[in-house]
Structure 1
Amino acid sequence: MTLEQYGWNEDWNQLWNRNGDRTEGTMPARIVGDFGSRYRVVTEEGEGWGELSGKLRHSLETFGDYPAIGDWTEVRKSEAGPYILQRVLERRSQISRKAAGSQPREQIVAANVDTLFLVSALNDDYNIRRMERYLIMAWNSGASPVIVLTKADLCDDPESRLREMELAAPGVPVLAVSAVKDRGRAKLMPYIGEGRTATLTGSSGCGKSTLVNWLSGEEVQLTGAVREDDSRGRHTTTRRELFVLPDGGIIIDTPGMRELQLWEDEGGLDLAFADIAQLSAGCRFADCRHEREEGCAVREAVESGELAEKRLRSYHKTQRELQFQATKESRLKRKGAAAAAAGTKGSGSRARKYDWRAEMDE
C-alpha cells in the first residue's frame, strides 16, 4: 500500500514541502472514513484511527470547517495509538450542502474530488428537478459532474430518459448503466482512472452502494431493497467511506440524501441552467429577471417552445432559495459580529424558514 494509491501525487507533494508551518515528526494522511467524532486515516505506515488535536479542535469550535472524507491532513502518531490530526491541507475541491437545522451552516460532504457522480435510478426515483439541484452543488464544488442513471434494466425506454436528462443538463455527460445486467461499466472507467477520486451522491435507494460493489468487483458495501410503492430505500450507507478500486481509481460512497438544501452559489446556478444564461444575453435589459420585462429573450424562448416553462419556473424557484439563504447567512454573520464586539454570544435567529420542497416540481 502506498499513498499514491490513495491519490497522493506531485502536486500534493509540492504543497506539503513548501508549507513552512509543518511540525517536525508529522506525516501526510488522507481521511478514508468519517465516523463523526473519529476518522479513519491512511498514512505511509498504513491505516489507523485519527483524532483531532486539542489546538485544531479549539480552532474548529470557533470557525467550523471540520475535516471531511477525502481531505489530506498533517498527522503525528501518538503514544496511545491513534494518529493526531494537526491541520488540514488546502482543498482542491469541496462538495457542500446546507446542514440540517434552521441556522445557515455548511456541511462538507467530501473533499479533493475530481469527479462527482450524480446518481439517479431509472424508476420512481428519477426526477429532473432534483437533478438540477444536484448540478448546482456539483458546479459550486470545483469537481466535474457526471450524471449516472442506474437500474437501466428497470426502464422500458432508458434512451428517452437519457435524452431528456441531457436537455436538462447542458454539457454534462449522462450515462445509463445497469449493475445487475453488467451494462455500462466501460462508460464509467474514464472518470475513475488511476489516482483520480470520484464521489457518489444521490437519494436513498438510487443504487450508489451497488455501484461501489460493481466497480470494486466485490461486496465492500451493504446494499438494501427499495420500497416498491415509491422506489425509496433505507440508509444502507450510514457513513462516508473511501475505497481504492482494482483499476487504480478512488471512489467515495456517501449516505443517501433525503433532501438537498443548497449552500452558497458561486456561479453554479448559471452553469446548471446554462441554456437560460445563454438566452439571457439577448435580453434588452442587463438586469432582466425573465418575468414580465419587455424584450426578454428568455420569455420569448418559452413562448416559442425553445425553452420549457417548467425549466424556467425551476430556475426562478432555485434562485429565490439561494437568495434567501444568502440573506439569512449575511444576517447571522452581522449578528455574530455585533455579539462578538459586545463580548456576548449571539442568539439564534428565528427568521422564517424557506420551504424549498413546497416549490419543487415532482
Structure 2
Amino acid sequence: MTSHQNYAPQGTGHPLAAYGWTGEREADFAPFAAAGLVPGRVARVDLGRCDVVVPDPSGAGVHTVRAETAPVLDPDPVNCPCTGDWAAVDPGSRGPVALAALLPRSTALVRNSAGSASDGQALAVNVDAVLIASSLAAKPDLGRIERCLALAWESGAQPVVVLTKADVARDRSHADDVQAAAPGVTVLVVSAVSGEGMDLLRACLPGTTALIGPSGAGKSTLTNALAGAEVMAVGETRERDEKGRHTTTARELIAVPGGVIIDTPGLRSVGLYGGDGLERTFADVEALAAECRYHDCAHDAEPQCAVKAAIEDGLLPARRLVSYNKLLRENERIAARSDARLAAERARQGKHRWKLMKAESGKPRP
C-alpha cells in the first residue's frame, strides 16, 4: 500500500462517498489523516479480523483489505468493531494491516446477548434505516415485529417494515395487522420475484440500511434484488411453516445502487437492551395511558383507564397491551441486571483501591 496522500478525502468525489462518506466523517477523520492512516468502512467481522472497504491506491474506486481488529478491541462487546463502523486503518507498511481506531458512531442497532448476561451485541452501526423483514407466506409474528421495532427505534435509525413474498401471500389482510402493530412506521408489501413494491422500497432506503428478521423471511433474496445481482446465497424454506436455514452466516455490508445494505443472519431471538424504544413502538398505548385517571395506572382494574376503554371499544387490540407489558417487564429486568453488574464492578474496583492503599501504608517511610 502506498503513502496516505493517495487516499486524501476529496469531499463528495471521495471513493467512499457511495458507502456513506460525508463531510462529518471527513472532519472526524482529520486527526487520523494527519497521522498517515487510511479511512475505511468495516464490511464484515470475523474472529480477530475484518474486511474493510478502503479507497484504491490508484485514486479511483475502492477495494477490500483484511485487517486485524486487536488494536481496537474493547472490554464492552458493544464497542468492538462491527459491520458498518468507520475506521482509521493502518496500511501496514511495518506490519499487518490493522484497525487503528474507530470513528464515532451515529447510530447503533444493539440487542441483548443470549443467555443471562446483560452484555449487549451490536448488530449493525451507522445505519440510517432498519428494514424489518417478515414473510407474508405465513402469518406474521406481531410480537417479534414489535421487538424489532423497539430495537430499531432505540438505535436512532428509522424503521421500515417490509412484508416479503407477496407473490405467494396466503392472506394479504395480515398487512393490516402489521400496520396496527407499527404505528407511525412505513409498512410495505413487496415481492422480489414479481417486482411488486420494489420501486417504492428503493425510494424508502436512504444511505445505509440494516436488514433484520428471522430465517426464511427472504432477506437474502431481497438483498439480491436491491443489488441487482446474486450477491448473497439463498436458501430454501420449509413449506409447512416458512422457516428457513441460516444462509447468511455473518453480518455483511453490500453495495447497492444508492447506498449500502447490511444483511444479517436470521435472528432466533430478539432480546431488548433497554432504552426508550418501547415508547415509540407502543406510541398508541403511551398516548392512551396519558389520558388515564391515575398517572401510575396499570391498565388492569383501575377506574377511568383510557387504555382498557380503548380495548373495550375496539380501538386498541388487546394483544397490544399484553405485548407492551411483557416487553416493559423485560426491559426492567435488563436494567436491574445492568445495575447489578455496574455495582459489582464498582465493588471490585473499590477492593482493588483498598488493597493498594493498604500496600502503600505498609511501606517503610524514607
Q: TM-score range by the shorter chain?
A: 0.7 to 0.9
Out of 205, 221, 230, the residue aligned to residue 192 of structure 1 is 205
Q: Distance in 1 between matches of 2:193 and 2:77?
A: 45
The question of 1:244 aligning with 2:255 is answered: yes
In structure 1, how many angstroms separate the alpha carbons of the residues matched to 2:55 and 2:70? Answer: 20
C-alpha change, 1:77 and 1:99, in structure 2 (3 Å) is same
After superposition, the Cα gap between the structure-2 partners of 1:82 and 1:162, relative to the gap in structure 1 and judged at 3 Å, is farther
1:183 to 178, 181, 196: 196
2:351 maps to: 342
**Is 1:106 aligned with 2:83?**
no
* Aligned residues of 2:292 and 2:305 also touching (Cα < 8 A): yes
The TM-score normalised by the length of structure 1 is 0.88
Query: What is the CA-CA distance between 1:118 and the residue it aligns to?
Result: 0.3
TM-score using structure 2 length: 0.87
Count of residue pairs brought into register by the alignment: 334
Structure 1 counterpart of 2:68, which letter? E
Q: RMSD across aligned C-alpha pairs, in angstroms? A: 1.9
Alignment equivalent of 2:86, drawn from 50, 66, 72 = 72
1:6 counterpart letter in structure 2: Y
Alpha-carbon distance, 1:89 to partner: 0.8
Q: What percent identity do the matched residue pairs reach? A: 39
- Corresponding residue for 2:300? 291
Matched, 1:48 2:65: yes
Selected match of 1:153 from 153, 156, 167: 167
Stretches of structure 1 lacking an aligned partner (at least 5 in a row):
345-362
Match of residue 264, structure 2, among 254, 278, 283? 254
8 A contact 2:77–2:119 mirrored in 1? no
Conserved in 2, the CA contact under 8 Å of 1:48 and 1:82?
no
> 1:206 is paired with a residue of what secondary structure?
coil
Q: Corresponding residue for 1:321?
A: 330
Give the deviation of 1:25 after TM superposition: 1.2
Structure 2 vs 1, CA of residues 37 and 53 (structure 1 numbering), >3 Å: closer, same or farther? closer
Q: Is contact 2:165–2:218 with CA below 8 Å preserved after alignment?
A: yes
Asked whether the equivalents of residues 138 and 170 of structure 2 are also in contact (C-alpha less than 8 Å), the reply is: no
Match of 1:131 in 2: 145
> In the TM superposition, what is the alpha-carbon distance from 1:96 to its structure 2 partner?
0.5
Q: Per-residue deviation at 1:80?
A: 6.5
- Of 259, 268, 273, which residue of structure 1 is paired with 2:277? 268
**Cα-to-partner distance string for 1:49-83 (whole Å, 9 max, x where unaligned):** 111254x33xx136762011001011111137643
Deviation digits for residues 231-287 of structure 1 (CA, Å, limit 9, x no counterpart):
111110001111111x2221110100011111122x211100111011111111222
The answer on 1:214 being equivalent to 2:225 is yes
Aligned-partner SS, 1:69: coil
Q: Distance in 2 between matches of 1:168 and 1:62?
A: 33
Q: CA 1:53 to 1:37, structure 2 compared with 1: closer, same or farther past 3 Å?
A: closer
> Residue 341 of structure 2 corresponds to which residue in structure 1?
332
Q: Counterpart of 2:332 in 1: which secondary structure?
A: helix
C-alpha spacing 1:36/1:292, structure 2 compared with 1 (3 Å): farther
Cα-to-partner distance string for 1:275-313 (whole Å, 9 max, x where unaligned): 101111111122222222222211111122211111111
- Residue identity matched to 1:248: G
Partner deviation per Cα, 1:142-161 (whole Å, 9 max, x = no partner): 01000000011111442x22
